[in-house]
Amino acid sequence: MRVGLVGGKLGHSFSKPIHEKLADYTYDLIPLTEEEFHEFFKKKEFDAVNVTIPYKETVMQYCDVIDEKASAIHAVNTIVNRDGKLYATNTDFAGLKQMIQHNGVEICGKVCCILGTGGTSKTAEAVLHDMGAEKVYIVGRNQTDPIISYEDLEKYQEIQVFINATSVGMYPKNDECLINLKKFPNAEAVVDVIYNPMKTKLCQQAEEQGLRAVNGLEMLVAQAKYAVEFFLDTKIEDREIDRIVAEMKKDMMNLVLIGMPGCGKSTIGKKTAKEIGKTFVDLDKEIEKEAKMTIPEIFERYGESRFRKIEQEVCARIAKEHGQVISCGGGIIKNAENMEKLRQNGIVFHIRRNVNALAVGGNRPLSTSREKLRQMEQERIPLYQKYSDIEINNDTVFKLAVQKVKEGFDEVFDH
């Protein structure tokens, strides 16, 4: 059975592992140029395919039967070849609706706003109307009736639910964000179709303001489940969505270790990474590679401010990636942007150790005396506590701390 995903650039697609968790077939990624795309669908040498950007509308010319959902949205993402006839549907509708409902985002009677005017926007609009939204605003860069502009958006203070249907904020441009949620006092929830990073800046804004925030991974898994059902003419339990989402989050999420210099972050990090099958990254070592000199040399030649600048640049690069255990320098928390970036894809652990057990001197330019360490701890503890999700004590044997870190990481996803 030849099954796969057809699209333009597919380098960061997670569809292959999701489909292969749901069904017993090999799922191919099939990137095609426009010329190759037309040739592919003329030949029909496949059993079933999903279709993604930029071909969801173009492919409709090759479909023999298109169901009502796909026709209404005017986009197809799922096709089955039955004896040379192509039957098409759109599972994005069901995937988005399932994600909104499952995460408890109230739509009925609410004033909603969709960011973006592309194919996903059309799907979101159909879903919101289907779920009983009182009003749906659509925002685009090119203002045409009934689309409003981003410049005028702040006039619409009544908006309660935002749906981001654009790629703004997606890897590798994790720092981008279309709106400032503080400008919307009635906002209640944000639904972002992006799943890489795990928390976009928009979702982080929402969480900071105590709003409900939902990322797009569950939509991706749900629409894949509905696609497999269409491919194989079978039924898969909805609980499989939860199982695969949890598995993928656990695989993708970084485990970030913060704490005082000498508290054991690197030792614990290396051992944890080995035992749970993630890549270990020591941010201080990465800084030394970037600067082509040791950290004491950076401090001696250029001072702490230059070190912090390099640290910020390296942190931004490393934090974008997935599946890592990241050991951070003791002062990483002095820059709020560092922690915002690390938390986009990471669960943050504060490794705490009695200050009398911390090493003095050595390769740590700021740990020059026991008194300096005590003073540093008093200044930093509130920040370690502010930015960490879980606190681990490392005052006994380090193997016990490793076990506690692993258990804490498991509990996040079991919950």
What is d(CA 229, CA 46) in angstroms, rounded to the nearest whole number? 17
Could you give the residue numbers annotated as active site? 56
Q: Identify which of 248, 262, 396 has the alpha carbon closest to the alpha carbon of residue 327.
A: 262
What is d(CA 215, CA 380) in angstroms, rounded to the nearest whole number? 31
Coil, strand or helix: which one is 123? Answer: helix
Tokens matching residue 412:
């996040």
Contact 213, 228 (CB under 8 A): no
Number of alpha helices (DSSP H) and beta strands (DSSP E) in the chain? 15, 17
Residue with structure tokens 């003791």? Answer: 330
Phi, psi (rounded to 5 degrees) for 139 = -115, 135
Q: Identify which of 113, 67, 109 has the alpha carbon closest to the alpha carbon of residue 87.
A: 67
> In the Cβ-directed half-sphere of 251, how many Cα atoms lie within 13 Å?
11
What is d(CA 213, CA 206) in angstroms, rounded to the nearest whole number? 6
